Chains A and B, each alone.
Chain A
Amino acid sequence: MIEMILATIFFPGVIFVLAVSLFYEWIDRKLYARFQNRIGPHLTGPFGLFQPIADLIKLLSKEDIVPMAADRLLFTLTPMLAPALMLFACMFLPIAGPSGVLSFEGDLIVVIALLSLYTITVYLAGEGSNNRFASIGAVRASLQLIGYEIPLTLSLLSAAVAAGSLSIRGIVEVQAEKGLWLIAGIQLIGFMIFVIASQAEMEKIPFDIPEAEQEIVSGWEVEYGGRRLALFRLSKDLELFLLSGLGAAIFLGGPLGPVIPGLEPILYVIYFLLKSIIVLAIFTLIRALFARLRIDQMVSFSWRYLMPPAMILMILTEVIV
């Protein structure tokens, strides 16, 4: 029991996940800057490693403002809900071994549901702040959900069908047994769909439509400041970690790999982090290569170019298995 609690709080639980997700934000920012021939964060800590933490602390220490017109309940609740949802979802990631802190048959579905719930939280956060830009951003976020949610789900589910298990643990173990990652084979299409749809889930270029700084200032989060904004930013980092970890676990074999006996726990963590950093790098690269689409273009793009392959993939996987 005590072991379980320790695992939840320290490793590979809350503290570890928070630290790693802040580290991932640093990787994301640094890589993005390097793609653009810039330097990126470089002042705080070695190579600017502590910049995300510094930003977070700075935001936490700022004045807390609730606009008069805002819905006080939603305005307070959503910033707490968003990181909580993401932290919960991160508990399913198989960081130190084939299963996460939480693991049961069907946990993949729970993770997908938590991702959708997060978008609904975003919608409520936008509408609750009762600002014109925020409500446009909130509407855009929920409209975007229509576009990417089904391809994202389908891509993950076809991997589940291919592995014959609906739990992340099962999928990881099947890949270890076969000695072959799911990405080798037709699930490569699934991985591509997953990466593109995740980009929309994380609201990053080319799908950063709900925040679109140049159009609607920063969309649904425009009224949030201080610690509320810090919590939203934290939830975004957690989401980044969750999605790159999920991609690594489902398609790249998760934490499993060649091990030296006795060193498994450390090697598992290293493998998992390395693989998810590869997925993260792909996310960042996509962010650097495109312009932002319009909301109608985004929805029609995903129904035209993401849905049919996702459907076909699902059917194909079903036939092969």
Chain B
Amino acid sequence: MRIPGRLLAEALRSLFRRRATILYPYRELDKIHLPEGFRGRIEFDRAKCIGCQLCFRVCPARAIEMIEDEKGKRPIFYIYKCIYCAQCAEVCPTKAISMSKTFENIALRKEDLVVR
């Protein structure tokens, strides 16, 4: 059966529906539901780190660098290189690395995108 303009009812209905658009920059935070286990910006608990370098070796984007400090080798994370695969968080033996829910990783200065 050929009915021209079959979408008419749906189009008129969406006239009175709530728009599907979520405004950006985010003003409607209630519309964004981030689930548990979302892979966002890396968070690093320095106290837990034992300096095993596994995260450094495993990182596919080479976004982790090992820096020598008073306690030994410790990683720093360059978020602007990170691809959010969370492999470092997975291999970390002491769970010092975790993924937060921050997903808007934008900054004017590069230093703001470095996690130590």
Question: In the complex, are there CB atoms of A and B closer than 8 Å?
Answer: yes
Indicate which residue in B4, B11, B20, B21 contacts A35 across the interface (CB closer than 8 Å). Answer: B11
Give B17-43 as 1s and 0s: 1 = Cβ < 8 Å from A's Cβ atoms. 101110100000000000000000000
Indicate which residue in B5, B15, B17, B21 contacts A290 across the interface (CB closer than 8 Å). Answer: B5
Q: Is A36 an interface residue (CB 8 A)?
A: yes
Are B11 and A39 within 8 A (Cβ)? no
Question: In the complex, which residue of chain A has the Cβ closest to the Cβ of B6?
Answer: A289
Contacts of B20 in A (CB 8 A): 37-38
A38 to B21, alpha carbons, bound, how many Å?
6
| B4, B5, B19 interface centre (most CB from chain A within 10 Å) | B19
A146 to B107, alpha carbons, bound, how many Å?
56
Total count of chain A residues near the partner, CB < 8 A: 13
Are B14 and A35 within 8 A (Cβ)? yes
Q: Is A77 an interface residue (CB 8 A)?
A: no
Are B17 and A37 within 8 A (Cβ)? yes
Question: In the complex, which residue of chain B has the Cβ closest to the Cβ of A38?
Answer: B21
Are B21 and A34 within 8 A (Cβ)? no
Are B23 and A285 within 8 A (Cβ)? no
A288 to B7, alpha carbons, bound, how many Å?
8
| A36, A37, A42, A289 interface centre (most CB from chain B within 10 Å) | A37
A21 to B12, alpha carbons, bound, how many Å?
24
Are A289 and B19 within 8 A (Cβ)? no
Are A34 and B23 within 8 A (Cβ)? no
8 intermolecular pairs with C-beta atoms under 8 Å apart: A31-B15, A34-B14, A34-B19, A35-B12, A38-B19, A38-B21, A286-B5, A288-B11
A interface residues (Cβ-Cβ under 8 A, vs B): 31, 34-39, 42, 285-286, 288-290
B interface residues (Cβ-Cβ under 8 A, vs A): 4-5, 7-8, 11-12, 14-15, 17, 19-21, 23
